[in-house]
Structure formats: structure tokens, C-alpha cells
Amino acid sequence: MKATDDNFTQLIFSMRRVTQKELAKALGLHVSTVSKALKGDPAIARKTVERVRREAEKLGFVPDPMLSALASYRQQLKPEAYHATIAWVYNHSRREPMERFAGYADYFSGAQMRARELGYRLEEFWVGSKSGAAAALGLVLEARGIRGVIVAPQATLEKTLPLPWERYASVAIGYTLREPALDRVTNDHFTTMTELLETLHRRGYRRIGCYLWETDNERMGRRARSAFQAVSREFQSRVKLYREFQADTFLDWVLKYKLDAVVCRGTEQMQVLLDAGYRVPEQIGLAGYALDAKEAGLSGMQHNNSRIGAAAVEWVSGKSQRSQFGLSECPQRLLITSQWLENGTIV
């Protein structure tokens, strides 16, 4: 008789969409417990998660995407009401001069604005270099009930951040964090440099040089130099990496290869050329490869860093709503495109 009853129940459920409420009733659990279990929330015991998923499969339960969309829409109706905090984590000291990296402040401003629109509070945390600092931060986040983490670009490369990642919906900005392998959002550096070179070539430049700060190249995952070299034969271009900017060395390089355009970091190189008697852009063109939102002195590629920060918030928000906590088995990358700014330094 029991087998017949089970078959009848499955037949009834198969004729229409099974709700979470019905699934919870069949399991003898609260609806919220079932909802969290279906999302894999680490707060729910593993045995319970497996039991709920088995029963869901048995009854043919599938999530209703329209209800999920409605819930998301309702959350956006009152963006001023904070419903959670996202941690913006700096894996370096407050004393680090991060303004030396183009657009660094724009990441946070874009993230902060988007967080406010989605009803989140974005709060800054500094890890620093003291022993046990990461463990202490983990305790603070746990005590505050913070489940969303964005790791900002770091001061130096190849650093690690040992947090209990299984508790968080997390995303890193850029390539500076070596471990763990988080999902990342960053600029599409390879395409940015390629489009910059193609723009210069369309404008008639043929002897193009890229004066690339080595630290920038490393922080971009070496993609800037790779892109330049990939098209160097076609565009008769040259690339030079430098660690410390020296005016004499820069001018000697420009003169040696008789460059008619230089791709550089900022206005410092332009001032050196002007002081040396070059006319910009009549005699030599100048274009920036990593302009920030406030840069007004150069034509070139703006990296849309504020959009990168906003995208990081959107990603973490979505993960949190789906209870996607912990490290991804296959980390993903979201690449944000750049846009050309025209500021009169190329013809």
C-alpha cells in the first residue's frame, strides 16, 4: 500500500509545479530551511542539504525563475534600506600610497554607488602586515554576520589572503591576489591595448612605441605587453619596460627609433617631450594606456574602473542571494571594456 501511495503522490506532483512550501511539508522542515538547503547555504547541515535535494528530485521540484526575479525586483524598490554589508578588503596597510596606481580610487567609488543602489552597505577593512591579521579579520566578519567580500587590488603582487572563504560570496578585483583563486573582475587589458594600437594606426601613425611601467604590466597579468607584441610586426611598434622613470633614457629611446607616437602612462612623459622641444601632437602623438576617470591631459584608453567596482558588487550580491558561498571549482573572470578618450594629444 505504501508503494502505491508514493506512486500516486509523485503522479499528482508531476502534473503541476511543486512549490517550496509543499516540498517543506513533505520533508517536515520549515520553508526557509528548505530554501537555504536548495541554495547550498553552509549554515544548513550537509545531511539536511542532501536530504532536501533528494526529495526535490524525487518530486520534480525546479526553482521558479519568475519568483526569483520578483524577489530581486522587490529588493530594488527600497535601495535606501540596507539589508546586508559587503566587506571591501584591502590586503595591505593604510599607509600604502595606492594613488600611484591609475584609477585606484574609482574602483571603490563605483562599488559604493552600486552597493547603495542595491541596498547594501559597503564597508572598508584593512588587513595589514601584522601576524594573524587575516585571522582577526575573519573573526570580525563572522561577528558582524558579513557574508560578502570584495578583495581590492593590492599594493604588491603574489600575496595571499587566508580567510575562511567557505563562509563568503567573494570576488577579487584584478590579478594581484595569488591565492586563493577567486572569481575576478578586471579590465580587458589585452583588448584595451590592441584597440589603442589599432586607433593609432588608423590615425596614420606607423612608428609606435609603448613606454610601459613594469609594475603596471605585472599588475595586468602581463597582458599589456603581450598585446603590444602580438601586433608589433604589423604596426612597426616597439615596447620598452621601465622600473623607474628617467627622462634622459626616455628621450634617447624616442630619438633612437624615430617614433611618431608614444603610448605611455600619463602626462609626465608628455611634459618631458614638451620640455625637449617636441610639438604634441603635430610632431609626435601621445596616448595613455591606463587613464583614470579624472585624467584630462591625454588622449587614450579609459579603463572604466568605477564600472569594474560596480560589477564586483553586482557579482557578490548575486552570489549572496543564491547562497553561493565558498571558492568556485572553476574560477571565472569578468572583463570590462575600455573606452577611447579624445584629449588632443594625437592628430
Highest mean pLDDT among 33-47, 56-70, 128-142, 160-174: 160-174
**Which residues have a Cβ under 8 Å from the Cβ of 108 and sit 6 or more positions away?**
88, 122, 124, 152, 309
Q: Is it the case that residue 280 has pLDDT exceeding 80?
A: yes
The Cα-based distances of 214 to 241, 290, 302 in angstroms read 5, 13, 19
Question: Residue 98: what pLDDT?
Answer: 84
Top pLDDT among 133 and 74 is at: 133
DSSP helix/strand/coil, 102: coil
Q: How confident is the model at residue 1 (pLDDT cuts 50, 70, 90)?
A: very low
Question: What is the pLDDT at residue 12?
Answer: 44
Cell 597579468 identifies what position?
221
Which one is predicted more confidently, 268 or 261?
261
**105: which 3 cell numbers?**
580610487
Give the pLDDT band (50/70/90) at residue 263: very high
The answer, yes or no, to whether residue 95 has pLDDT greater than 70, is yes
**Listing from the earlier edge strand, what are the strands of the sheet with 333-336?**
120-126, 84-90, 148-151, 169-173, 184-187, 333-336
Confidence at 88, pLDDT banded by 50, 70, 90 = very high
**Which pLDDT score, from 0 to 100, does residue 13 have?**
46
- Beta-strand ranges (E) seen in 31-162 are 84-90, 120-126, 148-151, 159-160
Decide if 259 contacts 208 (C-beta within 8 A).
Answer: yes
| pLDDT surpassing 50 at residue 11 | no
For residue 94, pLDDT beyond 80: yes
> If you average pLDDT over residues 113-138, what whole number do you get?
92
| Mean pLDDT lowest among 2-6, 151-155, 301-305, 340-344 | 2-6
Each residue of 298-336: pLDDT tens digit? Answer: 999 999 999 999 999 999 999 998 889 999 999 999 999
User: What are the backbone angles phi and psi of residue 73, rounded to the nearest 5°?
Assistant: -65, -40
Task: Report pLDDT for 10.
Answer: 52
Say yes or no to pLDDT of 80 above 90.
no
Structure confidence at residue 208 (pLDDT): 93
Check pLDDT > 90 for residue 165.
Answer: yes
- Local structure of residue 45 (DSSP, 8 states): -
Q: Note the pLDDT of residue 81.
A: 52
Q: Which pLDDT value is given to residue 295?
A: 56
More confident residue, 330 or 3: 330
Whether pLDDT at 39 is above 80: no
Q: What percent of the chain has pLDDT over 70?
A: 86
Answer yes or no: is pLDDT of 147 > 90. yes
Q: What percent of the chain has a predicted confidence (pLDDT) above 90? A: 54
Q: What is the pLDDT of residues 186-234, one digit of tens each?
A: 999 999 999 999 999 999 999 999 999 998 888 888 888 888 888 776 7
Per-chain mean pLDDT for the chain:
85
* pLDDT at residue 74, rounded to an integer: 55
